[in-house]
């Protein structure tokens, strides 16, 4: 099933959208983490039908939210290799009635490890469809920066590993500063992931991040609850606006 975690504006703490996060409720093991079963789904090829279901389901649910609220969907590099993503996305948008601009696709740098012309063409087509593209877990992969010149990403997500030890750890702070500089120069929206404390929030706000996601605001919640939050565009106990 899909859970949804709010993504809020940095200044006001208002809900801008949700990230769809996969959950597997195993009859014996309880909730299995996607970190454990996504690699398995990738190895076995199950990620292809599963990934198709995720996109359709996320669009279907997001279409019930107010018009300004977007949904972010994670993509596996395998989906670029073994499926026609623009075709699938077009069909999911048409079936659900969701505007393309309300769908964000989260891609990690690992997609660019084998930057084939076919992958480049798919990303370009998705951009032309006005779907938003996000770079997820930025700075944790093994990619060069050259793809940033070829693909216009709308958003960059600063990985939680850089956020975790803020504001006191110097290297994390320096990396965040560098990412914010880079992304600002490229006109990208900057989202910080894994924001858990008020001190982290303030530090990231001062650094110039535009959006936050993390347990400080909300854990991922079931679709029903996400719908209620989306309608209010507000969290019950959000930290005070800056």
The CA distance from 58 to 74, in Å, is 10
Partner that binds at residue 38, options ligand C2E, Mg ion, none, CB closer than 5 to 8 Å by kind:
ligand C2E
Q: Output DSSP code: residue 187.
A: T
Give the residue from 236, 198, 234 showing the smallest Cα distance to 214.
198
Interacting span for ligand C2E (CB under 6 A) from 113-121, 125-133, 139-147, 207-215: 207-215
Per CB under 6 A, the segment of 24-32, 33-41, 95-103, 138-146 that binds ligand C2E is 33-41
Nearest CA to 23 out of 230, 226, 220 is that of 220
Identify the three-state secondary structure at position 168: coil
- Residue nearer to ligand C2E on the CB measure, 160 or 189: 160
Instruction: Assess 104 for contact with ligand C2E (CB under 6 A).
Output: no
193's tokens = 């992931």
Task: Report if residue 196 touches ligand C2E, rule: CB under 6 A.
Answer: yes
Residue 137 within binding range of ligand C2E, rule CB under 6 A: yes
Identify the CA nearest to 58 among candidates 74, 79, 43. Answer: 74
- Residue from the set 76, 83, 143, 191 that interacts with ligand C2E by CB under 6 A: 76
Q: Which two tokens stand for residue 123?
A: 């990303």
The answer to whether the CB of 59 falls within 8 A of the CB of 20 is no
Token duo for residue 6: 């709010």
For Mg ion, which is the closer residue by CB, 94 or 193? 193
What is the rounded CA–CA span in Å between residue 20 and residue 134? 13
Contacted entry of Mg ion, ligand C2E, none for residue 21, CB cut-off 5 to 8 Å set by kind: ligand C2E
The one among 220, 223, 226, 230 contacting ligand C2E by CB under 6 A? 220
Residue 122 or 185 having the CB closest to ligand C2E: 122
Residues making contact with ligand C2E (CB under 6 A): 5, 20-22, 33-35, 38, 54, 74-76, 106, 136-137, 160, 193-196, 213-215, 220
């Amino acid at each position: 099933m899909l859970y949804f975690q709010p993504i809020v504006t940095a200044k006001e703490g208002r809900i801008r959208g949700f990230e769809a996060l996969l959950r597997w409720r195993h009859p014996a093991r309880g909730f299995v983490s996607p970190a454990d079963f996504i690699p398995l789904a990738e190895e076995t090829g199950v990620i292809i039908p599963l990934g198709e279901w995720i996109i359709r389901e996320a669009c279907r649910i997001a279409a019930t939210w107010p018009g300004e609220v977007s949904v972010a969907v994670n993509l596996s590099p395998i989906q670029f290799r073994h499926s026609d993503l623009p075709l699938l996305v077009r069909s999911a948008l048409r079936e659900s009635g969701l505007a393309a601009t309300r769908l964000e696709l989260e891609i990690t740098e690992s997609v660019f490890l084998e930057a084939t012309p076919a992958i480049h063409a798919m990303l370009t087509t998705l951009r032309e469809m006005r779907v938003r593209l996000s770079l997820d877990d930025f700075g944790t992969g093994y990619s060069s920066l050259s793809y940033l010149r070829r693909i216009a990403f709308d958003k960059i997500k600063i990985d939680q590993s850089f956020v975790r030890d803020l504001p006191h750890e110097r290297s994390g702070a320096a990396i965040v500063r560098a990412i914010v500089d880079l992304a600002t120069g490229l006109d990208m929206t900057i989202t910080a992931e894994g924001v858990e404390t008020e001190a982290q929030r303030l530090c990231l706000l001062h650094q110039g991040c535009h959006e936050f996601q993390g347990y400080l605001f909300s854990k991922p919640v079931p679709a029903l609850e996400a719908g209620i939050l989306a309608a209010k565009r507000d969290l019950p106990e959000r930290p005070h606006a800056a």
